[in-house]
Chains A and B, each alone.
Chain A
Amino acid sequence: MNKEKRDIASSFYKAFRAFRELASMLLGVILLLGLFRTFVSKDVISSLFTGDLLRDTVIGSAIGSIAAGNPITSYIIGGELLKEKVSLLAVTAFIVAWVTVGVIQLPMEAAVFGRRFAFVRNALSFVLSILVAMATVTTLMVLK
């Protein structure tokens, strides 16, 4: 405690330094998100589904992994995909991957936590988004 005497100014300076270190990465991710939002429309996303249950689930998870932004957008797109007869399994994988996998922010995650952590976490989240979707849809079917 004596060795590390803390005061409020140095505590906030430490926090400021942590943000400063990541500032250029943060800006890069934000700029990439802007590109994604502008160049990838809802129509582009819905055109990628094929009607095959399993393939659509993997596609849903893959699109959700690449897509980024507010989860509200994923619910709206998911709702519209359901109206277009895309399976609930694929839509669930899509909305789970949207928030748990982050391909766009992967470089930042790797810079902060290390490449191994970032890759393993995102790969696992991708697989888990499919498993969570399967478990959710199966449970709902059993409950009905």
Chain B
Amino acid sequence: MKPDKNGRNKKWKKYYSLYFLVFVIFLYVGLFIFRPERTQTALKASGDLLIRIIPVMIVVFLFMGIMNYLIEPKGILRYVGKGSGIKGWFLAISTGILSHGPIYVWYPLLKDFRSHGMEDSLIAAFLYNRAVKIPLLPLMIYYFGLSFVIVISVYIIIASIVEGKIIGAVEGHFRERESKNG
């Protein structure tokens, strides 16, 4: 019984992305029947978005290729792996703040780093710090004022550490339990 279940899980995992895409396509088809004009506008908006994120994807792709070439997996472990300490936190927070583009474009790189030992807590901190957008700070100051922007940015960085620590503890706890259960 168990191998069958595992086999199904593996198959589901393998085709999960494809199922998701098919689901979204069906959603478009369904909406097109009721609201054809708006659905076409949505499709156009998606096309525009795709064109806009292509440059960021190219940058992330180049970055990944170069990192794969220059840094050994052991190197990644040293900088953002277990025991990287304050250096790891500083790297995750600062690169999270400096990274551009939509969050999901960075997932392949983070997945790669994770497979080489990047800590879950640091991945969470990186993702949270993307809330601090340096190029958008002038606009934020225009809408909400300088003191608001300074205060919120500090709290976002603090929150990223809190979130990272909690996620690190949760993931560590479950992994330990899973390894005990074999």
CB-CB contacts below 8 Å: B45-63 with A: 45-47, 49-50, 53, 57, 61
Residues A140 and B148 in contact in the complex (CB < 8 Å), given A24-B20, A26-B104, A111-B17: yes
Given A31-B28, A113-B123, A136–B65 Cβ distance below 8 Å?
Answer: no
Q: Which of A27, A109, A125, A143 contacts B21 (CB 8 A)?
A: A27
Residue B112 interfacial (CB < 8 Å): yes
Is B139 part of the binding interface, using a Cβ–Cβ cutoff of 8 Å? yes
Which A residues lie within 8 Å of B143 (CB)?
Answer: 75-76, 78-79, 82
- A37 engages B68 (CB within 8 Å): no
B139 proximity list for chain A (CB < 8 A):
72, 75
Cα A30 to Cα B44 in complex, Å, equals 11
B140 within 8 Å of A (CB atoms): yes
In chain A, positions 41-60 with a C-beta closer than 8 Å to chain B are none
A1 and B74 CA atoms in complex are apart in Å by 10
The number of chain A residues with a CB under 8 A from chain B is 63
Interface membership of A96, Cβ < 8 A = yes
Bitwise interface map of B from 123 to 152 toward A, beta carbon under 8 Å scored 1, else 0: 110011011010010011001100110011
Interface size on B, residues (CB 8 A): 69
Asked if A22 and B17 sit within 8 Å, CB to CB, the answer is: yes
Among the listed A18, A26, A99, A131, which residue makes an inter-chain contact with B130, where contact means beta carbons less than 8 Å apart? Answer: A99
Within the assembled complex, what's the spacing in Å between the Cα atoms of A139 and B153? 12
CB-based contact A35/B31 at 8 Å? yes
Q: In the assembled complex, which residues on chain B have CB atoms less than 8 Å from the CB atom of A143?
A: 147, 151
Report Cα–Cα, A139/B28, bound state, in Å.
45
Smallest Cβ-Cβ distance to A92: which chain B residue: B152
Q: Is the CB of A132 within 8 A of B159?
A: yes
A66 lies within 8 A of chain B by Cβ: no
* B17 close to A25 (CB less than 8 A): yes
Report B's interface with A, CB cutoff 8 A: 16-18, 20-21, 23-25, 27-28, 31, 38-39, 41-47, 49-50, 53, 57, 61, 64-66, 68-69, 72-73, 103-105, 107-112, 114, 120, 123-124, 127-128, 130-131, 133, 136, 139-140, 143-144, 147-148, 151-152, 155-156, 159, 162-163, 166-167, 170-171, 174
Report 13 cross-chain contacts, Cβ distance below 8 Å, ordered by A residue: A6-B68, A15-B65, A18-B111, A24-B18, A28-B17, A34-B44, A100-B156, A113-B111, A113-B114, A121-B163, A128-B163, A132-B152, A139-B155
Q: Contacts A12-B68, A15-B64, A108-B104 given; 15 further ones with Cβ under 8 A?
A: A12-B65, A19-B57, A27-B21, A28-B24, A78-B144, A99-B130, A99-B131, A100-B128, A111-B20, A112-B107, A113-B111, A117-B124, A136-B151, A136-B152, A139-B155
